[in-house]
Amino acid sequence: MRVSMNGSNDRMVHARRRLDLTSEIQRDAAEALAFIVPLSTDYPGIKTWFNSKVVPGLIDGTRYLHRIERDGQLVGLGIAKLEPFERKICTVRIAPSYVGRGIGIRIFDSLLKWLDTDRPHLTVNERKIHAFERIFDWYGFNLTSVRSGLYVPNLSEFAFNENNLKQNLHKINPLITEKLLPHQ
């Protein structure tokens, strides 16, 4: 009887910890969303994307959110996605008064470490590409395509590091890489 109670108690404690963690993620996510929405006017549907993709991904571990705070205020954040066929930096946002202070480098470093790659896939629209040129040069990211209307009609989206699928897959599971992509 005692063993059963301990097992039951262990399950309750685990469930409580998981609930606490989920609540903490949701609090952090709410603050992050409030931060990125005003900085994302050129990405329609960002709230829907965030709530339907990012929050569940934070809970299941396929997304990572890196925050930078100054004096208790959120001043920068980055979101990355790690799935079986994709390692991607989804978004990086920095408060305008903190641009040019090295926060972008700290965010990119953290996201790259979490993704375990130095060439993740990412896209940037034509209105923001100039703000990222120096950081992309720093990391040696390769422009691989330009698409019009990917997120916003008549606005070009610059894609980087798209051809690194095999390298990224190999880091995830070397055994399946050759089966899925034998000649790339």
What would the pLDDT profile of 41-100 be if each residue is shown by its tens digit? Answer: 888 889 999 999 999 999 999 999 999 999 999 999 999 999 988 999 999 999 999 999
pLDDT band at 167 (very low <50, low <70, confident <90, very high): low
Write the CB contacts of 87 (distance below 8 Å, at least 6 apart in sequence). Answer: 80, 81, 115, 116, 117, 120, 121, 168, 171
Residue type at 84 in one-letter notation = P
Q: What is the pTM of this model?
A: 0.78
Tell me which residue has tokens 């993740």. Answer: 120
pLDDT over 90 (residue 9)? no
Q: What element of type H or E holds 144? A: strand 143-148
CA trace torsion 60, 63, 68, 71 (10° rounding): -30
User: What range does the domain containing 138 cover?
Assistant: 2-180
What pLDDT score does 164 carry?
62
User: What angle do the packed helices 103-115 and 129-139 form, to 10 degrees?
Assistant: 60
Q: Which domain CATH number covers 50?
A: 3.40.630.30
Please answer whether residues 63 and 79 qualify as being in contact, where contact means their C-beta atoms are separated by less than 8 angstroms: yes
- 14 — pLDDT class (breaks 50, 70, 90): very low
Calpha distance 68→72 (Å, rounded): 9
CA distance 82 to 172: 10
Tokens of 50: 């965030």
**pLDDT mean across residues, the chain:** 82
Number of separate domains in the chain? 1
